[in-house]
Amino acid sequence: MSEDAATSSPVSDSPAPDSPLRAEAALAGIEQRLAEVAGALGRLDDGTYGRCDACGAPIGEPLLALAPLARRCERCEKR
Ligand SMILES: [Zn+2]
């Protein structure tokens, strides 16, 4: 039996020329965004989506259209 290494691991991809720190920062941003989306989906699920986190008032469609992930109404956001 031959132990020919038929490894098909294409791990020869070199990292982007950009500094890894930049990629990390970008990733962190994406992760934060994902968490926000997950939170919005969760609120959509339990029916609290579109309500202000601070005062419980409806955030309002104009603001939600602009910022679907908004968690506070315009009034509270400006405080
Ligand atoms: Zn509010």
Q: Which domain holds residue 71?
A: 23-78
Q: What whole-number distance in Å separates Cα of residue 33 and Cα of residue 12?
A: 30
Q: Ligand 1 centroid to 29 CA: how many Å?
A: 26
Q: pLDDT digits over 20-62, tens only?
A: 889 999 999 999 999 999 999 999 999 999 999 999 999 999 9
- Whether the full predicted model's pTM is greater than 0.75, yes or no, is no
Task: Compute how many other C-beta atoms are within 10 angstroms of the C-beta atom of residue 71.
Answer: 19
> Would you give the DSSP letter of residue 75?
H
User: What's the domain count of the chain?
Assistant: 1
Q: Ligand 1 centroid to 72 CA: how many Å?
A: 5
CATH (domain of 71)? 1.20.120.910
Is residue 70 included in any domain, yes or no?
yes
Cβ atoms of 70 and 64 within 8 Å: the answer is: yes
Q: Ligand 1 centroid to 47 CA: how many Å?
A: 17
| Main-chain phi, psi angles of 64, to 5 degrees | -65, -30
User: Which residues have C-beta within 8 Å of that of residue 77, sequence separation ≥ 6?
Assistant: 70
Three-state DSSP class for residue 32: helix
